Structure 1
Amino acid sequence: MCGIAGWVDFVRDLTTQRDTVRAMTAGLHRRGPDAEGMWVSPHAALGHRRLAVLDIPGGRQPMVDRRAGAEIVLSYSGEVYNYRELRRQLSARGHNFRTSSDTEVVLRGYLEWGAALVDHLRGMYAFAIWDGGREELLLVRDRLGVKPLYYHPYPDGILFGSEPKAVMANPRFTARTSEQALPVLFNPRLAMPGETPLDDLRQVRPGHLVRVDRSGVHETPYWRLVSREHTDDEATTVATVRDLLAEVVGQQMVADVPLCVLLSGGLDSTAVTALAARHRSGSLRSFSVDFAGADAEFRATPLRPEQDTPYARLAARHIGTAHQEVVVDPAGLDDLLPRALAARDLPTLGQFDASMYQLFGEVRRHSTVALSGEAADEVFGGYPWFFDHDTVWGDTFPWLGNGIRLTDLLVPEIRARIRPDDDERDRYATLLRQVPRLDGESGLEARMRAVLHLSLQGPLLYLLDRKDRMSMAHGLEVRVPFCDHRLLEYVWNIPWKMKIADGREKSVLRAAVADLLPAEVLRRRKSAYPATFSAEHGSAVRTRLDRLLTDPASPLRPMLDPVRVREVAGDTGPMMTVADSMHLLLPLLEVDRWLRDYRVPVRT
């Protein structure tokens, strides 16, 4: 896993801009602490920061091949899990390899297949290829968007990088946002694929490639979900899911550096851990996270009905991992927030990003690669709102439900200008039209296909982005087996009635790993990433809110209705998707922090 950056300009001579390219690349040093590389030509420049995971001595980048007098240059981030298979295919076609890295497989795959290379890859990746003969840049992102890739197009070229900071380091880009972006700033799960809240900064959409040449910037899809009739019976379906998941985890265990697992004690992470342990002759290290004082202060909510720690301990004993609990002090969360913000370059999730940042810092002391159970809820159907009738059939995003929107707390004149309710309806309608429907499917089956598809968009992309940014801030690579596209393609077409065959969430997954897990974990309800219910932390958040609402230097304060904010802050009622009202209001504080620290002006 690495960081990539680059610049293409068909007018300017980039050989005079080495310092700028070096600055774009250097900002990604935490993503790649092991090595730095840069390649510069008159109209294209590529930079790379390396986190060495495979072929430690041989995988240096950018990687260059010279054909017919032109240079083909690759800057690559990620892992191609089927690289050994592809290497054999390419060797049979006459390619000679100088390294044993998956990077060279990607480069030689391009030499063999051109852009159609993407059809052969299985993994998580984001990469750039400059084809000097064609004078064309190719930007590629994996099918589910596990690895990030941002870009800023302009009339004569493009800037790109693994994180916004790489683009921001170039003086051609100025960070600005607008009132129209406030709904996405307050709730990033509303972002459409490829959208960011910064003017003229986009992400390559999952499963897409971007071509840049003298005619401009052209983005096209190379993969999308397809709905087909599922003809396997329940027993065959369960067996197929088990085989696919076992294969995926086995592929993702390949590394030339220490590897571990993230084990919360939930169904998803325990399944990954149990399968991973089967590929280890020695003890497998596992990690979980909790908050100091959680035993006394925990409060059950629909999304967090139980604490993780007892189940993580039980699962670790059952599987036999060398388990470590990372205990976060709620009193220290505020001190971690600036570092989490610097990792994300966009507003954070407050305590959730801060605690994950600390977790991954501790994991990195022992391992360079970790496996995680992320995405199983979106793929198999695990969230509580999938099972609430009114939420499922509501005419909006199910994960929003009927809860308050933070845009409701804006002053009336801004609400009148940006019309957030219309914006939400438009986004919902746009994504609903993109659901790959199955002919003849109706009723609950058709609706749940739509609900699951909506969950695979903004919500999953935001979780994956958070995982990537907080882990790579420590040079830790986190792999997500449930994001394997072949597994998703199969599970996508399993009927909803089979996905809940035992009357519970994720029935197929539960059945597929039933022989591997302790009974208590198999019976456990879905519980999201831990939140702190510390009274001290809640008081600190409330104090920060009060300061924001009275601070004349706050860029956000003039946009907010202080009476409404205080009303919501005083709400102690149960909420489906958040821990409490302080959790709900955290984005206000983090958006304000981002606007200040990054000096981002907000245009009307």
Structure 2
Amino acid sequence: MCGIWAVFGSEDDISFQCNAVHKITHRGPDAFRIESVNHFPGCCLAFHRLAIVDDLQGMQPMRVFQHPHLYLIYNGEIYNHKVLQKQYDFDYATACDGEVIIHLYAMGGIEFAAKNLDGEFTFCLLDTANRKVFLGRDTYGVRPSFKISTETGFLAVCSEAKGLTDLSLKFDSVSDVTKFIEPVLPGHVESYSLDMNGKATFNERVRFHKIGEEPIYKTLEVEIGSDIKENICNLLSAAVKKRLMADRRIGCLLSGGLDSSLVAALVVKHAKEEGVDYPIQTFAIGMEGSTDLMAARKVSQYLHTEHHEVVFTAEEGIAALETVIHHLESYDITTVRASVGMFLLSKYIKENTDSTVILSGEGSDEIAQGYIYFHKAPTPEDADAESRRLCDDLYMYDVLRADRATAAWGLEVRVPFLDHKFTSYYLNLPAKMRSPQSGIEKHLLRSAFDGKGLIPDEILWRPKEAFSDGVSSVKKSWYEILQSYIDEQINDDKVEKSAKFYPHNPPKTKEALYYRQVFEKKYPGLARLIPYYWMPKWMETSDPSARTLKHYKQ
């Protein structure tokens, strides 16, 4: 997890603009560099580094002797960089995985480069010889990226929106900078031309990879046979294996649910096979009596991990809300609720262990139809369409939560369920096969690992629980605790009037209004970055908690 930041075509004092870069220091606590570019007025590139691979030579902005006219800043991991080096006979100057982006671009252009990358990434590439700037982001948007692009030639990019909110656009007719901030779209590359004054003109946006589409790149090969369940196991196993690429210690978030348990089990398996010389650490969080804590403990004992449990109180969770919303840059109800536990757990990991790379189970519910409301899908085809819609929007919800909650504490999260090879195979299986079966969500995924002995059967077939539900006791859910607290903070009449003050996504509950007020205080004018509140489909409910749904299993 790192932080990238750049401006082009600034007419203001560039030193003033550069003050904004320090708003994302948390993403890269190991090192910092900021660099202007000769003959490009108003241009500056900056980088906050979390060193994962090649501690000595991996600093950015990156340049290599073969292509000195190219400047690269990127955040992410490219898992097939060694395969590409061998395939194209690249002469690397560093051992850093991101260097391959430079060589791929020099060989075949930016779309060719992006299509060949197996990983989670966002990048900004400056080609000084051709006066071009390129922005790109991975298929699912696992690594965040925001930009400002104005008709007057100002271009800025940053890992988080907060690094753009204080930039000066004094030459623009509209002074409110937040009107221009928008995400770099996942699975796309954008190109800009720079004039002699460093001003940027937008050229085009190209989608280089679609969700569910088979990627073209070569990576850790998995032989696809006729046994569908065996293919699922092998592809997920390979997705985990490639994500062990790191020079820092690797650990796992472990809720005791299906997804995190499978990931942890595969990490332990591959770590043993590759001779990793430290025990894998697993991390669970919950309140007193949490179902997640109890389940995670069983999995840890089964896998023989070095297990860490964090028990938090209602008071600690509530006290963290404002800070969590600050890091999230979101007011979505489900996202905020679930992020509190993940944020507090990441804090513990940073302060008490040396694990830096953290594997997690995000993405499985969207890919494998794990949400309880999928039981109510009218047809398998409707369920498939909803699954793909969720995947398209992941970067604004669960993926956003995973990135920000961990990056707040200088950790890097990796999500093997969003591996391109795994997801393209799984999403193209027959729709009926992927739907809930026999009243069990994610039935295909569960049955694929049945009999493998990776995790206990009671965990393999454990019913779905939302993260914000599992962290609390069966008697009183985390969302009920939040609502009890917020009920005392917000008057009833404020909710009735909220649509007048917040016409976009008007809050309909006290909890929604409370989160929105905190968000607006920190990010006025940016509410549009969240297009809608995440809510279950096909069911009548006013709350996104799984515990409010008919199919919820105690």
**Alpha-carbon offset, residue 501 of structure 1:** 7.9
Counterpart of 2:317 in structure 1 is: 333
Q: Is the 8 A contact 2:134 2:189 kept in 1?
A: yes
Scaled by the length of structure 2, the TM-score of the pair is: 0.81
Counterpart of 2:501 in structure 1 is: 559
**Alpha-carbon offset, residue 375 of structure 1:** 0.6
**Alpha-carbon offset, residue 537 of structure 1:** 4.3
Evaluate the alpha carbon distance shift between residue 165 and residue 209 of structure 1 in structure 2; reply closer, same or farther with a 3 A threshold: same
Q: Is the 8 A contact 1:350 1:587 kept in 2?
A: no
Letter in 2 for 1:8: F
Name the CA distance, whole Å, in 1 between partners of 2:163 and 2:113. 26
Q: Is the 8 A contact 1:126 1:139 kept in 2?
A: yes
> Helix, strand or coil: the match of 1:72?
strand
> Aligned runs of 1:453-464 on 2, under 5 Å?
453-459=388-394, 461-464=396-399
Letter in 2 for 1:545: I
Counterpart of 2:141 in structure 1 is: 145
Q: Which sits farther off after the overlay, 331-340 or 318-327?
A: 331-340
Q: Is the 8 A contact 2:21 2:163 kept in 1?
A: yes
Evaluate the alpha carbon distance shift between residue 493 and residue 558 of structure 1 in structure 2; reply closer, same or farther with a 3 A threshold: closer
Counterpart of 2:511 in structure 1 is: 586
Name the CA distance, whole Å, in 2 between partners of 1:37 and 1:556. 43
Evaluate the alpha carbon distance shift between residue 337 and residue 103 of structure 1 in structure 2; reply closer, same or farther with a 3 A threshold: same
Name the CA distance, whole Å, in 2 between partners of 1:223 and 1:50. 27
> Helix, strand or coil: the match of 1:452?
helix
**Alpha-carbon offset, residue 265 of structure 1:** 1.1
Evaluate the alpha carbon distance shift between residue 521 and residue 536 of structure 1 in structure 2; reply closer, same or farther with a 3 A threshold: closer
**Alpha-carbon offset, residue 342 of structure 1:** 2.5
Name the CA distance, whole Å, in 2 between partners of 1:518 and 1:500. 23
Name the CA distance, whole Å, in 2 between partners of 1:536 and 1:451. 30
Q: Is the 8 A contact 2:257 2:295 kept in 1?
A: yes
Name the CA distance, whole Å, in 2 between partners of 1:446 and 1:597. 41
Q: Is the 8 A contact 1:331 1:536 kept in 2?
A: no
Letter in 2 for 1:165: K
Counterpart of 1:57 in structure 2 is: 56
Name the CA distance, whole Å, in 1 between partners of 2:79 and 2:526. 42
Q: Is the 8 A contact 1:48 1:62 kept in 2?
A: yes
From 238, 245, 254, the equivalent of 1:254 is 245
Evaluate the alpha carbon distance shift between residue 461 and residue 235 of structure 1 in structure 2; reply closer, same or farther with a 3 A threshold: farther
C-alpha distance after superposition, 1:444-492 (max 9, x if no partner):
3432321211221225641101111111010110000011111111001
**Alpha-carbon offset, residue 496 of structure 1:** 2.5
Counterpart of 2:328 in structure 1 is: 344
Name the CA distance, whole Å, in 1 between partners of 2:126 and 2:358. 31
1:168 and 2:165 are equivalent in the alignment: yes
Name the CA distance, whole Å, in 2 between partners of 1:321 and 1:222. 39
**Alpha-carbon offset, residue 36 of structure 1:** 0.7
1:528 and 2:519 are equivalent in the alignment: no
Evaluate the alpha carbon distance shift between residue 332 and residue 225 of structure 1 in structure 2; reply closer, same or farther with a 3 A threshold: closer
Counterpart of 1:466 in structure 2 is: 401
> Aligned runs of 1:120-199 on 2, under 5 Å?
120-155=116-151, 156-172=153-169, 199=179
Name the CA distance, whole Å, in 2 between partners of 1:326 and 1:103. 35
From 295, 302, 305, the equivalent of 1:321 is 305
Name the CA distance, whole Å, in 1 between partners of 2:224 and 2:447. 13
> Helix, strand or coil: the match of 1:37?
strand
1:361 and 2:306 are equivalent in the alignment: no
**Alpha-carbon offset, residue 168 of structure 1:** 1.3
Counterpart of 1:82 in structure 2 is: 80
Evaluate the alpha carbon distance shift between residue 33 and residue 593 of structure 1 in structure 2; reply closer, same or farther with a 3 A threshold: same
From 22, 30, 54, the equivalent of 1:34 is 30
Counterpart of 1:438 in structure 2 is: none
Counterpart of 2:417 in structure 1 is: 482
1:264 and 2:261 are equivalent in the alignment: no
Letter in 1 for 2:513: L
Name the CA distance, whole Å, in 1 between partners of 2:113 and 2:149. 24
**Alpha-carbon offset, residue 547 of structure 1:** 8.5
Evaluate the alpha carbon distance shift between residue 363 and residue 52 of structure 1 in structure 2; reply closer, same or farther with a 3 A threshold: same
Evaluate the alpha carbon distance shift between residue 326 and residue 547 of structure 1 in structure 2; reply closer, same or farther with a 3 A threshold: farther
Name the CA distance, whole Å, in 2 between partners of 1:273 and 1:380. 18
Q: Is the 8 A contact 2:78 2:119 kept in 1?
A: yes
> Aligned runs of 1:353-502 on 2, under 5 Å?
353-365=339-351, 366=353, 367-388=355-376, 392-393=377-378, 444-459=379-394, 461-500=396-435
Name the CA distance, whole Å, in 2 between partners of 1:596 and 1:273. 39
**Alpha-carbon offset, residue 600 of structure 1:** 4.5
Name the CA distance, whole Å, in 2 between partners of 1:247 and 1:527. 26
> Helix, strand or coil: the match of 1:457?
helix
Q: Is the 8 A contact 2:243 2:416 kept in 1?
A: yes
Instruction: For CA contacts below 8 A with separation 6 or more, give which structure has more relative contact order.
Output: 1
Evaluate the alpha carbon distance shift between residue 265 and residue 550 of structure 1 in structure 2; reply closer, same or farther with a 3 A threshold: closer
Counterpart of 2:4 in structure 1 is: 4
Evaluate the alpha carbon distance shift between residue 175 and residue 368 of structure 1 in structure 2; reply closer, same or farther with a 3 A threshold: farther
> Helix, strand or coil: the match of 1:152?
strand
Evaluate the alpha carbon distance shift between residue 387 and residue 153 of structure 1 in structure 2; reply closer, same or farther with a 3 A threshold: same
From 68, 71, 87, the equivalent of 2:69 is 71
Name the CA distance, whole Å, in 1 between partners of 2:293 and 2:330. 30
Evaluate the alpha carbon distance shift between residue 19 and residue 87 of structure 1 in structure 2; reply closer, same or farther with a 3 A threshold: farther
Q: Is the 8 A contact 1:157 1:216 kept in 2?
A: no
Counterpart of 1:274 in structure 2 is: 265
Evaluate the alpha carbon distance shift between residue 240 and residue 175 of structure 1 in structure 2; reply closer, same or farther with a 3 A threshold: farther
Letter in 1 for 2:27: R
Counterpart of 1:113 in structure 2 is: 108
> Helix, strand or coil: the match of 2:144?
coil
Letter in 2 for 1:474: W
**Alpha-carbon offset, residue 160 of structure 1:** 0.9
From 84, 91, 99, the equivalent of 1:104 is 99
Name the CA distance, whole Å, in 1 between partners of 2:225 and 2:526. 55
Q: Is the 8 A contact 1:176 1:602 kept in 2?
A: no
Name the CA distance, whole Å, in 2 between partners of 1:481 and 1:536. 32
Q: Is the 8 A contact 1:157 1:212 kept in 2?
A: no
Evaluate the alpha carbon distance shift between residue 176 and residue 81 of structure 1 in structure 2; reply closer, same or farther with a 3 A threshold: same
**Alpha-carbon offset, residue 519 of structure 1:** 1.1
Name the CA distance, whole Å, in 2 between partners of 1:233 and 1:171. 53
Name the CA distance, whole Å, in 2 between partners of 1:164 and 1:248. 30
**Alpha-carbon offset, residue 257 of structure 1:** 0.7
Name the CA distance, whole Å, in 1 between partners of 2:224 and 2:125. 44
> Helix, strand or coil: the match of 1:478?
strand
The percent identity for this pair of structures is 26
From 447, 454, 473, the equivalent of 1:511 is 447
C-alpha distance after superposition, 1:392-421 (max 9, x if no partner):
34xxxxxxxxxxxxxxxxxxxxxxxxxxxx
Letter in 2 for 1:452: S
Name the CA distance, whole Å, in 2 between partners of 1:175 and 1:527. 45
Scaled by the length of structure 1, the TM-score of the pair is: 0.74
Counterpart of 1:406 in structure 2 is: none
**Alpha-carbon offset, residue 223 of structure 1:** 0.7
